[in-house]
């Protein structure tokens, strides 16, 4: 069986996917440093993850908070597009 799929790379700073679209979202961060000065913001090794998620224009989290234009992973974790912070939600 052959499967045809079309992949489109989208930078969320330029535009967002359509409502309900499945996406593979890249997440970046840093591991906590082992022995370096923990106040150093660049201490620790950088990492990248790619997680399967979907994009939605409106999502209600388990705690009742309402989010707009966000990505939701299989564990129900809400991830906001690059450049938006956690306080960009509606209560």
Residue 4: predicted pLDDT? 87
Taking CA 40 as the corner, what is the angle to CA 77 and CA 35, rounded to the nearest 5 degrees?
A: 90
In tens, the pLDDT along 5-15 reads 787 887 888 99
The CA distance from 24 to 73, in Å, is 10
pLDDT at residue 63, as a whole number? 92
Query: In this predicted structure, what is the pLDDT of residue 61?
Result: 93
Q: What is the pLDDT of residue 7?
A: 79
pLDDT score at 35: 63
Please tell me the predicted confidence (pLDDT) of residue 52: 92
Task: Name residues of the chain where pLDDT drops below 50.
Answer: 88, 91
């Amino acid at each position: 069986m052959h499967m045809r799929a079309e992949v489109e790379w989208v930078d969320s700073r330029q535009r967002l996917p359509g409502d309900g679209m499945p996406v593979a979202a890249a997440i970046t961060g840093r591991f906590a440093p082992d022995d370096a000065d923990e106040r150093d913001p660049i201490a620790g090794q950088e990492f990248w993850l790619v997680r399967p998620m979907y994009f939605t224009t409106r999502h209600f989290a388990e705690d009742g908070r309402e989010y707009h234009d966000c990505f939701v992973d299989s564990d129900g974790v809400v991830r906001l597009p690059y450049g938006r912070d956690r306080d960009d939600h509606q209560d």
